[in-house]
Structure 1
């Protein structure tokens, strides 16, 4: 009797996760397809009309007003972005259902006027909003609610990057350092694959392709070299995260958390930086130079320029993703390092792209899977080592201060469990 009951419970639970995974994946996949297409269109418009960057301060005022007027409910603030979703998974907050539409609009405004940002945050936050709506519709209990939120993250990431396996793991890995909630694997996997299929096969979304021309032969010296450059890429991710959080904390303190003033000043700073650099290569997503870094030399300090532009854009209140900017920084730094290190340019660009993301997001498994889905299985041993190295050497820093440290990366760090990235960084200061 007990066996029959357990089997029945298992089948009911499995069926529930399949239905929820398909539902969330289908909705998020379609909405993400619209996001990608419109983002591409707006990016092309901005590239043709570079003067639009002068309206970025006005765009900042609009974004600030939207978040101040509609982005808050009690202690839940949509301006926290991915951090709000992470807090909700840890039962510290509640995801606002209007968070998705708000971040979509904010991302479009940021992109059209030349803020340096990516797109996956909008997809992830829309996934979180859809998941919250599903939770309320099905009246999910506290345990199921967290799994459903992870499912939304997976659907958004898988659809945004055309990487369904990565998306499935990313939804489970991004919320906590040192822990994977395998209970969520079924809905996360289904949602990520459905979202990817809907966006790519139904809505014909085309994702960027990056090709590594040559993979060096395996040797001890080669692995040591990969470890060495991966440490550099990890430090790049730390530098970006620290600067981005520092700008945000300082600007919030000076403006007393007035989002409109912060974003308006941020827009002015980006305009000034664009005039100083004399180029719009670092505005927007920067996909053209990102792709170029795999094929030919790019300006040697492109990675540093993109780091500053993105830290100012997002630190001052504009919205968007940080994965593509990190890809840009890592790939262009790898391109620059190829002039000093005798390794293929495209190989170092790919290595930097993935390692910088692994160090910033603190998701080494998802980053490694992303390298396989993007570049194939050639050289996968190098990318595996690079992801682990960057993850460990980046320390307890990261893109999202709300990430919980379930297990420290190493006992050498002497970090207590259950801390967050944010609290650890504050204690160090």
Structure 2
């Protein structure tokens, strides 16, 4: 019993620290998701708003120039602060990213929501840490809790949120010290978000007991390779567009204007409006969406590539929002295409792509395998793991978060202290 007292004290202390942060983050995420649905409905009702996207991009640029300061670094700033505490994560990050993400979606930019939720959680965590005057180590753990809370609440996947917060920081190493605080934070935040009446999208994969084991396993491995290549293409294209735009466009405030014009030009092509916005639902029953990708005929052969291009241009030119939901869309529609080509079940391979492209782009195969179980059920857990770990290996030493540290490269090389940004250089 005496040996348990330190454990009880540890759990009680972190429960008291995590609970108010999780309630605040979960409530803010609920407000964000409700607002996101509202602005998406407005955009569908008024398609002409797309033509104001360049002006919206310029507005986002000046909002961050005048009031954002280092907040413009987004998720990378939070990762850097966890590894090497410095100036801190500004509290203004939360309202800024929430507002500018809604602007992006209102005017048709192709973006997600994970980045916003994670930045809300990280910003709140920094505020709590300063108010409580926590030391550097506890502040670092609380920032990880903020990531877990934001991620767990925005997708309704608390176990994934906790593991994602641990796994995303360093490739090849997980900090178990923050395991219980992150788990508690993700659970409390998800519960709070749900208590506000927020409902998450449900996906269903039917049982396919008649499929030969080795055929399905081999096809899952091959699909995982394709998912990994798609992950790498998205990461490299997003970073490349950002780098090239900074060199080619003469003034930085014109970069999002140019990006908005490119998105308008692509959307003018027949059928391309399906790839604007979040992409989860669409009032047009014939549109390609994340949900439709799980059904026969619900996606076109190149739907995944079009969504990849729309999102890379949107985020690479300075619009705000997350990458994860577009990665879900890219993966699910690519899985749909591969299923049609190989004769495999569309719903199962859409699910594999959903999680595996995300795994490759964020270098978090364990979290994404768990996400498959949380979203789709555990019947195909082995294939979730096969697809996610294969995609992780074939995505290369890149990712959407350049501040990720690399403790152990995918080829087994020790690279302590290096970041993905360093490896790109």
TM-score, normalization by structure 2: 0.94
Aligned 1:22-41 pairs, distance under 5 A: 22-41=19-38
Q: Is the 8 A contact 1:251 1:257 kept in 2?
A: no
Q: Distance in 2 between matches of 1:292 and 1:345?
A: 10
Distance 1:415 1:240, change over 3 A: farther
Aligned 1:252-291 pairs, distance under 5 A: 252-255=246-249, 258=252, 260-288=253-281, 289-291=289-291
Q: Distance in 1 between matches of 2:388 and 2:235?
A: 17
Q: Distance in 1 between matches of 2:216 and 2:189?
A: 38
Aligned 1:66-77 pairs, distance under 5 A: 66-72=63-69, 77=70
- Determine the structure 2 residue equivalent to 1:303: 304
**Are 1:210 and 2:207 an aligned pair?**
no
Corresponding residue SS for 1:305: helix
- Determine the structure 1 residue equivalent to 2:153: 159
- Determine the structure 2 residue equivalent to 1:392: 393
Q: Is the 8 A contact 2:307 2:329 kept in 1?
A: yes
Deviation by residue 1:367-415 (Cα, 9 ceiling, x = unmatched): 011000000111111101111111111121111011000121232xx46
**Are 1:122 and 2:116 an aligned pair?**
yes
Q: Is the 8 A contact 2:407 2:414 kept in 1?
A: no
**Are 1:80 and 2:73 an aligned pair?**
yes
Give 1:218 deviation, angstroms: 5.4
- Determine the structure 2 residue equivalent to 1:179: 173
Q: Distance in 2 between matches of 1:256 and 1:126?
A: 32
- Determine the structure 1 residue equivalent to 2:337: 336
**Are 1:188 and 2:179 an aligned pair?**
no
Deviation by residue 1:43-62 (Cα, 9 ceiling, x = unmatched): 11112211110010111011
Aligned 1:383-422 pairs, distance under 5 A: 383-411=384-412, 414=413, 416-422=415-421
Corresponding residue SS for 1:280: helix
Q: Distance in 2 between matches of 1:233 and 1:10?
A: 42
Q: Distance in 2 between matches of 1:254 and 1:8?
A: 62
Superposition CA RMSD, Å: 1.7
Aligned length: 415
Distance 1:266 1:92, change over 3 A: farther
Q: Distance in 2 between matches of 1:294 and 1:305?
A: 18
Q: Is the 8 A contact 1:50 1:280 kept in 2?
A: no
- Determine the structure 2 residue equivalent to 1:56: 53
- Determine the structure 2 residue equivalent to 1:131: 125
Give 1:9 deviation, angstroms: 5.2
Q: Is the 8 A contact 1:168 1:185 kept in 2?
A: yes
Corresponding residue SS for 1:215: coil
Q: Is the 8 A contact 1:18 1:186 kept in 2?
A: no
Q: Distance in 2 between matches of 1:192 and 1:126?
A: 13
Give 1:255 deviation, angstroms: 4.3
Give 1:293 deviation, angstroms: 0.7
**Are 1:140 and 2:138 an aligned pair?**
no
Q: Distance in 1 between matches of 2:45 and 2:62?
A: 28
Q: Distance in 2 between matches of 1:358 and 1:279?
A: 26
Give 1:265 deviation, angstroms: 1.4
Q: Distance in 2 between matches of 1:96 and 1:218?
A: 53
Structure 2 unmatched runs, 5+? 282-288
**Are 1:170 and 2:171 an aligned pair?**
no
Give 1:328 deviation, angstroms: 0.3
Q: Distance in 1 between matches of 2:118 and 2:323?
A: 12
Give 1:296 deviation, angstroms: 2.6
Q: Distance in 2 between matches of 1:384 and 1:82?
A: 26
Q: Is the 8 A contact 1:405 1:419 kept in 2?
A: yes
Q: Is the 8 A contact 1:215 1:379 kept in 2?
A: no
Deviation by residue 1:249-284 (Cα, 9 ceiling, x = unmatched): 1122334772x2211111111111111345311110
Aligned 1:343-354 pairs, distance under 5 A: 343-354=344-355
Q: Distance in 1 between matches of 2:340 and 2:218?
A: 18
Corresponding residue SS for 1:207: coil
Deviation by residue 1:299-355 (Cα, 9 ceiling, x = unmatched): 211111100000000000001011100000010011111221021011111111111
Structure 1 unmatched runs, 5+? none
Q: Is the 8 A contact 2:57 2:260 kept in 1?
A: yes
- Determine the structure 1 residue equivalent to 2:94: 100
Q: Is the 8 A contact 1:214 1:344 kept in 2?
A: no
- Out of 42, 53, 61, the position equivalent to 1:45 is 42
